[in-house]
A and B are shown apart, each in its own frame.
Chain A
């Protein structure tokens, strides 16, 4: 079955960087865009953007340009989210989610990666 498995929780200091991985299985990795979403405590999901896993081209939503970098490695069917120069307000659960067949929905989602930013 289609499955996305993300890397584990991270505790980082402000100013540090973090890289979250999302390993896909059960389908052809390059056939679907991979999306990244953020969910702050008590809030709904927020779309950060996507990466075209076939071409490597990335689209970033407003508010997620500059310090957020999407990448992918087709040899291991894995997508990555790197956050540079972490700020306390970056603390959240980060999800990868495969784009749906119609292109307008997300499914499935990874299990989420909690990023904590604290000095």
Chain B
């Protein structure tokens, strides 16, 4: 079965750039999506089709996908961006990564 691998955690200082990676076999040939899940809340779509932002998502969220790696980049990270982030792709079924806990400190 298809697997997506994310680093379990990362930390970033306020105002800095956070780059969260998601690895999978030939992931660049698929559409990658990213979700933000704050504590006690449901997931929110922040990037779809590799690099598109839904309405209402700040411009500091961007995405890329090439080769075996998709990347979610958060520029000028704010304290409110502290959350779990999940990548997701379709490979005969919808697959999620294990999630990356982003700490802003």
A105 touches B49 (CB 8 A): yes
**Which residues of the partner chain B approach A61 to less than 8 Å between Cβ atoms?**
93-94
In the bound complex, how far is the Cα of B94 from the Cα of A64, in angstroms?
13
**Which residues of the partner chain A approach B89 to less than 8 Å between Cβ atoms?**
104
A105 touches B33 (CB 8 A): yes
A61 to B, closest residue via Cβ: B93
Closest chain-A Cβ to B16's Cβ sits at a distance in Å of: 25
- B61 beta carbon closer than 8 Å to chain A: no
- Enumerate chain B interface residues (CB-CB to A < 8 A): 31, 33, 35, 42-45, 48-49, 54, 84, 86, 88-90, 93-99
Main SS at interface, chain B: strand
A105 touches B48 (CB 8 A): yes
Closest chain-A Cβ to B47's Cβ sits at a distance in Å of: 9
Closest chain-B Cβ to A32's Cβ sits at a distance in Å of: 14
Contact of B42 among A35, A95, A102, A105 (CB under 8 A): A95
A45 touches B86 (CB 8 A): yes
**Which residues of the partner chain A approach B94 to less than 8 Å between Cβ atoms?**
35, 47, 61, 106
Q: Known interface pairs A95-B42, A102-B48. Does A107 touch B54 (Cβ–Cβ under 8 Å)?
A: yes
B96 touches A95 (CB 8 A): no
Closest chain-B Cβ to A56's Cβ sits at a distance in Å of: 20
B54 to A, closest residue via Cβ: A107
Q: Known interface pairs A44-B86, A95-B42. Does A105 touch B96 (Cβ–Cβ under 8 Å)?
A: no
**CB-CB nearest 6 A-B residue pairs:** A107-B45, A47-B94, A105-B48, A105-B33, A104-B31, A109-B42
